[in-house]
Structure 1
């Protein structure tokens, strides 16, 4: 059993706390059909990245702002189909409000809609694509998360599902637990620990709620 001591845990959202894969893929499939690009190629780039940065890679010839807005509207309209990942509710309830946050590649609008429809609590700190200049795999999103929680990166553990997300957290100097909800273990080897399910984690919190968290997996 691997264990981590930390002051807080920073969660990715899509694929980690909420199952939005079908919703995201429906939206991107409509978009690729609309602009004539290969769906499989686009999705290989898009997973775990902000839509704007994915579009910059796969469609630099198009109006990035217009296409990103179109995609956001599609995904927002589909947010009601999103469900919580098994174990997410109970895991989040085990943390005091000031000991966890969400760091997502989605926009603030999408993140709030998906958290709401998944029936999950909204964290005190929510870092979205609207809050950063450089999205995952750049370290900026997780560094902003740590800063807003008034913690050093070394005091944080990140829970992620994507290759871009793991790379972002590691580049930020954080320890990473990867969950295999959307990727196979072989592509997540950069993580410090790989688990199959959120239920594989055990969390112990100090009695006063302000000491170390002990996470076992």
Structure 2
């Protein structure tokens, strides 16, 4: 199978859908939250993936104090972590990468991030950007620009790993190359990404003195390169 090999200085990882899967927990909690707050059709609420929780609170109940609403849903999600899963290839990759070569850039708060990472047993990142550290969340470019800046690299030197359309747009808008993984979003909706892969398990990374050599097995193209 053909492959593409590229160089990068660092990875910027989204959390949910890229490193872990907490979609079952998040869906349960948001539907409970929606029922508590009399949101229409709450039992069938479909979570907009990758959108900061505070923005979802404001979308569902613009009349509520968004900080109070955020605290309630965070409490629910931190308590409901029993079925959180580490996605394929993640532990091996994070263990291999030097701490100064990766960061987590997530739409959840630091409090929720800590709860999910602890439940998953993943290493705590030296560098992270959370929803409570930025003025504008994804799809705005600010989170990924902050992530690159935190690591000390130009955005174009970084590869963003994402699974949601808003995250892909955020990474591209920041000037990064984006590797989209097929954990939560149909392939056709991710076609703006630089590459598309089944998961991080297929991505091979070699750590070199000046950075990273990243190899992605290739499959068919769809406007950009698709990897499987």
User: What TM-score, normalized by structure 2, do the two folds share?
Assistant: 0.89
Residue of structure 2 equivalent to 1:123: 125
Q: What is the deviation of 1:39?
A: 4.5
Deviation at 1:129, TM superposition (A): 0.7
CA distance in 1, matches of 2:69, 2:204: 41
Pair 1:161-2:163 in alignment: yes
Kindly provide the CA deviation profile for residues 115-161 of structure 1, in whole angstroms up to 9, marking residues without a partner as x.
11111111110111111111111111111111111111111000001
Distance 1:137 1:102 in 2: 16
Once residues 112 and 69 of structure 1 are traced to their aligned partners in structure 2, the CA distance between those partners, rounded to angstroms, is 15
C-alpha contact 1:9 1:158 (8 A) present in aligned 2: yes
* Deviant stretches of 4+, over 4 Å: 39-42
Tell me whether 19-28 or 53-62 shows the greater mean CA deviation: 53-62
TM-score if structure 1 supplies the norm length?
0.93
Distance 1:175 1:100, change over 3 A: same
Q: Which moved more, 1:188-197 or 1:74-83?
A: 74-83
Distance (Å, rounded) in 1 between the aligned partners of 2:173 and 2:45: 24
The 8 Å contact of residues 204 and 213 in structure 1, kept in 2 or not, is answered as yes
Unaligned runs of 5+ in 2: 217-228
CA contact (8 A) 1:42 1:58 kept: no
Conserved? CA contact 1:179–1:196, under 8 Å: yes
The answer to whether structure 1 residue 215 and structure 2 residue 222 are counterparts is no
Deviation at 1:42, TM superposition (A): 5.0
Query: C-alpha separation between the residues in 2 aligned to 1:51 and 1:6?
Result: 31
Q: In 2, Cα distance between the equivalents of 1:128 and 1:142?
A: 10
**Aligned length in residues:** 213
More helix by share: 1
Residues 80 and 114, structure 1, Cα contact 8 Å, conserved in 2? no
CA contact (8 A) 2:141 2:174 kept: yes
Residue of structure 2 equivalent to 1:88 = 90
Contact 1:9/1:157 (CA < 8 Å) preserved in 2?
yes
Q: State the alpha-carbon separation in 1 of the partners of residues 179 and 90 from structure 2.
A: 14
What's the counterpart of residue 190 of structure 2? 188
Structure 2 equivalent of residue 27 of structure 1: 29
Which residue in the other structure is 2:49 paired with?
47
Give the CA RMSD over aligned residues: 1.5
The 1:92/1:182 distance shift into structure 2, 3 A limit, reads same
Counterpart-to-counterpart distance in 2, 1:41 and 1:59: 16
What is the DSSP-based 3-state SS (H/G/I as helix, E as strand, rest coil) of the residue aligned with 1:164?
A: helix
